[in-house]
Structure 1
Amino acid sequence: MDRGPVRAMAAAGALALAMTLVGAAGAPPGEAAAPDRRSVPPDTPSEDAATFLGLPAATEYRCTVSEILEPSCGVWWGASPYENRVEQLEQAADRDMDIVYTWRGIDQADIPGRRERSMAAEGKFVHTNIEARRFTRPGHPAVSYASIADGEFDEQLRSQARGIAELGVPYFVTFDHEADANRRYNKRGTPEEFVASWRHIVDLYRAEGADNAIWVWNVTGWEANLDRLPGLWPGNDYVDWISWEAYNMSTCDAQPNWTETHSFEEALRPAYDWIQTEGPAHGIDPDKPVMIGEMGTTDIGPRETLEWYSEIPDVLRRYERVRAVKMWDNELTPGCDFRIGANEYAQRGFQLAGQDPYVRLPERVRRLAEDAARRD
């Protein structure tokens, strides 16, 4: 199937570049990891980085950034920032976000809007979740999947597609995230109707020339919901990245039945293992890149909260298909707060994690991704 000009770049070498990236992505495959990677500056010359890590100088391996923005040498780091204020989050995190999550409605024609365009101009990757809800109406009421598949919102969707195409840079798009969640599953339509609406949107975007749209299928990843995933799968030709959440919600007053504390790895693992072992039987390609669409923990104590975040890069090194992670910097209720700025230990842990070379890819790697938009 012709995937458009951006995806066609894979044939030209998937934006491959032989680079000396010890300092950018930790030890090459097969090498032991060093204990103090976090303090290696992201653009440290390779020989200095190798010396710091105790590895042979000028250790090289090939790093690529694919046509769908999958890096082979680390993980993109991002967030859904509190009150859309990414600058405030970046100041607290002491680094820029690679990806910023935005939330829009199916009835909004102005996607990308001013904010998304501004962030793209700054070099950030934008990921927009398009909800099956009317954001132009009070209360953002839900709409049915059937109405979307039947073309009720085609005018708005075509406008979105043209806007993304005109932006001229790779742009992550999700339709109605967490369709497997109890509050949504079989509420806006059947799984079959979700799939039909997803495919309708993708086909429409492609017809309007939005080949730079990168399609991210997002689910909760909760173990109890895994048996719902096969029916919600749109098909390999309609999905570029697979995404789910990795939360700990113990102590959250909005989740009274959540009694155990889950580490980041424990939250990530069930869906990862399911995709790798059960996915192929349901037509899901386990080699697609994975994005942790949202993650975070409630306050579980000073040391525990700090470690929950600071251990993330080492966990990611053990799950090679994960190539992007986004923090959900927000709150459900005053007793269920995930905001980095509201907890000094969460902030410090997030800072430590964000400085790790594995999730702080250097500028030269980003330039590979930006080149994708300019090649035909």
Structure 2
Amino acid sequence: MLVVAALLTGLGFWAGRPDDADPSGRGLPGDAASGPLPTGPCAPTDTLVPPCGAWWGAYVPYAANGSLKDAVLGFEKRIGRRLDLVYNYHDMSGTELDGQLLTPDEQELGRDRLLMLAWESTVWTEPHHENWTETQLGWGNIASGKYDEEIVDPQIRRLKAYGKRVFLSFDQETDARVEEGAGTPAEFVAAYRHLHDRFRELGADNVVWVWTVSGHLGSGKEMKALYPGDEYVDWIAMDQYNYYGCHGTTDWKDFLRSQRPGYAWLRANVTDARPMMLAEFATAPDADDPGRQRDWYTGIPGAVKELPEVRALVHWNRPASERPECDLTVNDGPGLEGYREAGRDGYFQQPVPPR
């Protein structure tokens, strides 16, 4: 029953059954796990926690030519270093464009970087979620296994074949999705646990599970109810920003003021037994004081040590809207200067494992 394929047809797409559902294994990623693991006191743990610092990562949108690889390499050239972690987003359409985990570009970038894949239980209307419109598949349907054969299992086989450890976040900023119609918190917990168990059943033990919420304290009740439990989660993550003028406020929040409230609340009310990732972070510019953006980033190496369980920082390098006050990128100017300087700090120079 090609339920999602029928949905895609209605949206003007055609996915069919993914090629990698073929039990012969054609089209599956090659095994990327190779080389000796780092040793010594700073060697990452089995769940990719760097004990002596934090991963320095970013989400970088696709280049104009459609290449993720070109976009990431261009970004790295600007910032003067290789990223530890590349973050990318996928839907559950099963299409090669957005619904296939571990695209060829991701596999190539993953040779000497960690990958984090966000997997949304939606079908996007436009390529790469350009205008943020989508159709919900529903947490209840995911939990019931309705899409296992058609969508879930083929992607699990892809991750298993890849071999190398990968961060995976199911329905990031999940607290915002309750109002969007994805389902109830109980249905999310059931869906998350079902996916986790399905990966285990099919032998994909190279997945590091990241539970990602907004970190917005106004969603505290929802965030608490959405937690699947420590036995299902390897990292917790949040997405907090200094939006400043983008949200019409004159309250400039430095890095710590933008991150500490969510960090402290999640550790006090959800779990203090898991490392934390800033899965999206950035600051908007201040047109009246451009140097503020540079200083926001240069202050990160010192400030993040006051959040000792933060072990990965992933910059969101995409504008929140076309308005200049909502440009969260660090592609040029003071923002680039500050981000480049922060990334040189030794705290963000940890040994990336090859498998």
Same fold (TM over 0.5): yes
Q: Is the 8 A contact 2:215 2:239 kept in 1?
A: yes
Cα shift at 1:237: 1.1
Query: 1:55-82: CA deviations, max 9, x gaps?
Result: xxxxxxx323100110100110000003
Rounded Cα–Cα distance in structure 1 between residues aligned with 2:126 and 2:307: 41
- Equivalent pairs, count: 298
3-state SS of paired residue (2:107): helix
Q: Is the 8 A contact 1:246 1:264 kept in 2?
A: no
Cα shift at 1:16: 7.8
**Inter-CA distance 186–332: structure 2 relative to 1 (3 Å threshold):** closer
Residue of structure 1 equivalent to 2:329: 339
Q: Is the 8 A contact 1:226 1:271 kept in 2?
A: no
3-state SS of paired residue (2:135): coil
Paired letter, 2:328: F
3-state SS of paired residue (2:58): strand
Rounded Cα–Cα distance in structure 1 between residues aligned with 2:100 and 2:174: 24
**Inter-CA distance 137–297: structure 2 relative to 1 (3 Å threshold):** closer
Q: 1:197 aligns with which of 176, 191, 201?
A: 191
Cα shift at 1:347: 0.3
Residues 1:328 and 2:293 are matched in the alignment: no
Rounded Cα–Cα distance in structure 2 between residues aligned with 1:176 and 1:191: 12
Q: Is the 8 A contact 2:178 2:184 kept in 1?
A: no
Q: Is the 8 A contact 2:275 2:309 kept in 1?
A: yes
3-state SS of paired residue (1:351): helix
Paired letter, 1:233: Y
Cα shift at 1:276: 2.8
**Inter-CA distance 327–17: structure 2 relative to 1 (3 Å threshold):** same
Alignment of 1:100-179 (within 5 A): 100-108=86-94, 110-121=100-111, 123-135=112-124, 139-155=133-149, 156-179=151-174
Residue of structure 1 equivalent to 2:81: 95
Q: Is the 8 A contact 1:263 1:308 kept in 2?
A: yes
Q: Root-mean-square deviation (CA), in Å?
A: 1.8
Paired letter, 2:78: A
Rounded Cα–Cα distance in structure 2 between residues aligned with 1:114 and 1:184: 33
Q: Is the 8 A contact 2:138 2:183 kept in 1?
A: yes
**Inter-CA distance 259–150: structure 2 relative to 1 (3 Å threshold):** farther
Query: 1:2-30: CA deviations, max 9, x gaps?
Result: xxxxxxxxxxxxx7843xxxxxxxxxxxx
Query: 1:71-120: CA deviations, max 9, x gaps?
Result: 10011000000334111211111111111111101232632221221111
Q: Is the 8 A contact 2:90 2:100 kept in 1?
A: no
Residues 1:210 and 2:198 are matched in the alignment: no
Residues 1:64 and 2:43 are matched in the alignment: yes
Residue of structure 1 equivalent to 2:60: 81
Q: 1:278 aligns with which of 251, 254, 269?
A: 269
Q: Is the 8 A contact 1:82 1:339 kept in 2?
A: no
Query: 1:199-225: CA deviations, max 9, x gaps?
Result: 111111111111000000001111222
Rounded Cα–Cα distance in structure 2 between residues aligned with 1:312 and 1:246: 14
Alignment of 1:227-376 (within 5 A): 227-252=221-246, 255-256=247-248, 258-279=249-270, 284=271, 286-300=272-286, 301-335=289-323, 336-341=326-331, 343-361=332-350, 365-366=351-352, 369-370=353-354, 373=355
Rounded Cα–Cα distance in structure 1 between residues aligned with 2:48 and 2:291: 35
Query: 1:265-292: CA deviations, max 9, x gaps?
Result: 111111221233333xxxx3x1311110
Rounded Cα–Cα distance in structure 2 between residues aligned with 1:135 and 1:120: 25
Query: 1:109-167: CA deviations, max 9, x gaps?
Result: 6322212211112x111101001111488853222111111222212211111111111
TM-score, normalised via structure 1 length: 0.75
Rounded Cα–Cα distance in structure 2 between residues aligned with 1:276 and 1:134: 32
Paired letter, 1:311: G
Unaligned runs of 5+ in 2: 1-36, 63-67, 128-132
Rounded Cα–Cα distance in structure 1 between residues aligned with 2:38 and 2:210: 23
Unaligned runs of 5+ in 1: 1-14, 19-61
Cα shift at 1:316: 1.4
Question: Sequence identity, in percent?
Answer: 31
Cα shift at 1:259: 3.9
Rounded Cα–Cα distance in structure 1 between residues aligned with 2:268 and 2:139: 30
Cα shift at 1:360: 2.0
